[in-house]
Amino acid sequence: MITLASSSPRRKELLLRLFKEVEIVHPNVDETILDGENARKMVLRLSRKKAESIKRDNVVLAADTTVEIDGMILGKPQNENDAFRMLKRLSGNWHTVHTGVCIKYGDKIINFVDSTRVKFYSLDDETISAYVKTGSPLDKAGAYGVQDDMGMILVERIDGDFFTVVGLPISRVWWSIKKMGFEC
């Protein structure tokens, strides 16, 4: 069994494609950005804190995802106006999605960050508004989900792992778990 320390339905769905038993535990971790902390260090720290907050004998997997553009971290939007602002900022530009992962199994810990560059099409206000009105952007870093019905029309190019953008670099997770000696 794998314990997923995350409330993300997307991560759960990816894990259930590969593992028969997945336990979901919602970690209670303060996700405040520390002063001077960059996006990579933040997701690395938060994924580790989430994994360490769950006490289990089986594999514990935690992840944290954020979007970075020009050194600015875009987490989950606070409301529809914030989501619109974020999407407007991403419009026509390259940005980087960072997903930090921490896997705990016995006394072994693997903690890493996977980063993928994404370029958005130039979006008009009408398209942004229509997507925001779906409500989907409100629970996602950077206010978009590349796998969403409308989210998939925002992205022009991806340079890296698609699943990192979804929120879990699943192939790297699989091989890391095998490396730890867990029978997948």
Domain ranges in the chain are 2-179
Report the chain's mean pLDDT, rounded to a whole number: 96
Burial 45-74 (b: 16+ CB within 10 A, else e): bbbbbbbbebeeeebbbbbbbbbbbeeebb
Q: Are 173 and 104 in contact (CB under 8 A)?
A: no
Instruction: Tell me which fold the domain 2-179 belongs to.
Output: Maf protein (3.90.950)
3-state secondary structure at position 67: strand
Catalytic annotation, pick one of 64, 70, 82, 161: 64
Q: In the Cβ-directed half-sphere of 160, how many Cα atoms lie within 13 Å? A: 22
Q: What is the pTM of this model?
A: 0.95
70 is annotated as an active-site residue: no
The tens digit of pLDDT for each residue in 153-166 reads 999 999 999 999 99
Contact between residue 59 and residue 3 where contact means Cβ atoms under 8 Å apart: yes
- Distance separating alpha carbons of residues 155 and 132, to the nearest angstrom: 15
* pLDDT at position 34: 94
| pLDDT tens digit sequence for 105-118 | 999 999 999 999 99
> What are the pLDDT digits (tens) for 5-57?
998 999 999 999 999 999 999 999 999 999 999 999 999 999 999 999 999 99
Residue 184 scores a pLDDT above 80: no
